Amino acid sequence: MLDMLSETDILGCRTVDAHIEANIKLLPNQGEILDDPGRYYHLVGKLNYLTVTRHFITFTVNIVSQFFSAPRTTHWDAVLRVVWYFKESPRKGLLYLYCTRVASFADVDWTESLINR
């Protein structure tokens, strides 16, 4: 995680205590189109990789991944918030040690999604 922060030149960023804002609604046409979407793609790709050990960000990373065709400033802000959250505790995650069976559950409310209800 710290390598990701240094690669994207946001090592000196602030920290937050939640990886997504409460009641945030990200829409495809909300905000201005990013001038350089490469940083967005790179950072979301790294966050997608981190969902293997940090399941609690899976929903957030799924949402910001839906805007790859035309990422906007509001989407970039949502991605940065996840990174700011990890700066607070970079070693948070799940450790799989001698597991023979792993089960995970998610309580997802798809009706709140304005894009694909």
> How high is the pLDDT of residue 107?
57
pLDDT digits (tens, 9 = 90+) for 52-111: 877 888 888 888 999 988 999 999 988 888 887 877 665 555 555 665 565 665 555 555
- Burial-class residue 76 by CB neighbours within 10 Å (0-12, 13-18, 19+): buried
> How high is the pLDDT of residue 49?
87
**39 or 111, greater pLDDT:** 39
> How high is the pLDDT of residue 8?
67
